[in-house]
Each structure stands twice: as C-alpha cells, then as structure tokens.
C-alpha cells in the first residue's frame, strides 16, 4: 500500500470518527425527544407522569408552546430533567400554580424575546390551557423571596442575563402569564 493511499484511508477514518462524535449529541437529543413524546402518550387516565426511560429521574407532564418553540414539561426541576426540558417546581402541588424553570441557553432561551400579551400554550393529555404573558421582570435572589403566582397563573423562571456565562448568577428572568381561557379536554 502506498503512503498516499494509507494517508487517504487514515484521513477518511478520522473524518468518520469526528462526524460520528459530532452527530452523537443531536441524535441522542432526537431519541430523547421521541421517548418523551411516547411517555406523554402513555400517561394513565390519572395523568400520572411516565418516565421516558428507566433511569430517568423525571416524568413527562406535557408540552409548552411559546412562539415556534415546543418545550417538554417535566414533573421536577432536577439537573437531569432540566437537560431535557422545563421542570415543574415540586414545592407546588399538581393542582397549584404552574411554576417552571428551564435553562436560559437551551429550552428557555425563547423567553428573551417574550413580551406582554404573547400567548403561551400548555398541553397535557387532559387538554390544553392558553395563557397570556402579563409581565416580565428581572429578580435578584439576594433581595428576598420570590412570591408564588396565583392559581390561574403560570411563572416561567430562567437565569439572567441570557448571554451570561456564570452558572451561579443570582438573577432570574421571570415571565408571568394568566389563563386566557381555551381549556379543552381530549
């Protein structure tokens, strides 16, 4: 085998390895989203959250639509769950206000362009609820405690600033939305 042919083969193999590594994360993400959609479809009549895979520490509650973005809503806001969607704060009961957190640079990056009056749809196996954004604000955790929203409200929380790199920032971007009607069963 000539030196040129060996170099070409090694270059092609290296390219294939780098291509596979580059595609691994997007392929894994697409598989995860498919498994989460399947878990949402498998929810029981009691609407208990179903884990999308056996080692997941979360279940899928529904989907949130903000503009063109569709975000899976998960039943807890653990670090594992937040890698795959928006997590519901467990300190609020299932019948209480909807309080969700998500990462500013992935699932909740859409909040940066969210404005008062924008629609936010929350869809579960039991139906859909349409909300309208009533307020956006920046809250500094060092200045006090964030009060929970009312029973007909939704609160979306992410770190701020959106282009920040500090993972321990004390500031949060808050979106408040109120029920705008259109509750439908399936």
**Mean pLDDT score, 168-177:** 95
**Mean pLDDT score, 159-182:** 91
The boundaries of the domain holding residue 171 are 36-179
User: Does residue 47 belong to any structural domain of this protein?
Assistant: yes
**Mean pLDDT score, 111-116:** 96
In this prediction, residue 56 carries a pLDDT of 92
User: Does residue 26 belong to any structural domain of this protein?
Assistant: no
Rounded CA gap, 72 and 18, in Å? 30
User: Does residue 5 belong to any structural domain of this protein?
Assistant: no
User: Does residue 25 belong to any structural domain of this protein?
Assistant: no
User: Does residue 22 belong to any structural domain of this protein?
Assistant: no
**pLDDT of 17 over the 80 cut:** no
**pLDDT of 128 over the 70 cut:** yes
**pLDDT of 186 over the 50 cut:** no
User: Does residue 174 belong to any structural domain of this protein?
Assistant: yes
What CATH code is carried by the domain that includes residue 42? Answer: 2.40.260.10
Question: What dihedral do alpha carbons 100, 101, 102, 103 form, nearest 10°?
Answer: 170
* 50-54, 77-81, 98-102, 165-169 — most confident range: 98-102
In this prediction, residue 182 carries a pLDDT of 59
Domain total in the chain: 1
Rounded CA gap, 182 and 43, in Å? 22
User: Does residue 140 belong to any structural domain of this protein?
Assistant: yes
- Note the pTM of the prediction, 2 decimals: 0.84
Rounded CA gap, 184 and 163, in Å? 37
Residue 64, classed as helix, strand or coil, is: strand
Percent of the chain topping pLDDT 70: 92
User: Does residue 3 belong to any structural domain of this protein?
Assistant: no
**pLDDT of 25 over the 80 cut:** no
């Amino acid at each position: 085998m000539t030196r040129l042919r060996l170099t070409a083969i090694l270059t092609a193999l290296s390219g294939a390895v780098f291509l596979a590594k580059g595609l691994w994360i997007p392929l894994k993400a697409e598989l995860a989203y498919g498994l989460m959609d399947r878990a949402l479809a498998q929810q029981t009549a009691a609407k208990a959250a179903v884990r999308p895979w056996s080692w997941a520490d979360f279940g899928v509650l529904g989907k949130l639509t903000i503009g063109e973005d569709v975000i899976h809503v998960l039943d807890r806001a653990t670090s594992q769950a937040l890698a795959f969607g928006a997590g519901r704060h467990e300190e609020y009961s299932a019948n209480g206000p909807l309080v969700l957190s998500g990462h500013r640079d992935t699932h909740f990056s859409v909040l940066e362009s969210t404005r008062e009056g924008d629609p936010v749809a929350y869809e579960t196996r039991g139906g859909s609820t349409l909300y309208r954004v009533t307020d956006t604000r920046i809250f500094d955790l060092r200045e006090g405690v964030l009060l929970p929203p009312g029973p007909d409200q939704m609160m979306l929380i992410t770190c701020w600033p959106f282009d920040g790199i500090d993972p321990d920032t004390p500031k949060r971007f808050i979106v408040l939305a109120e029920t705008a009607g259109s509750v439908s069963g399936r």
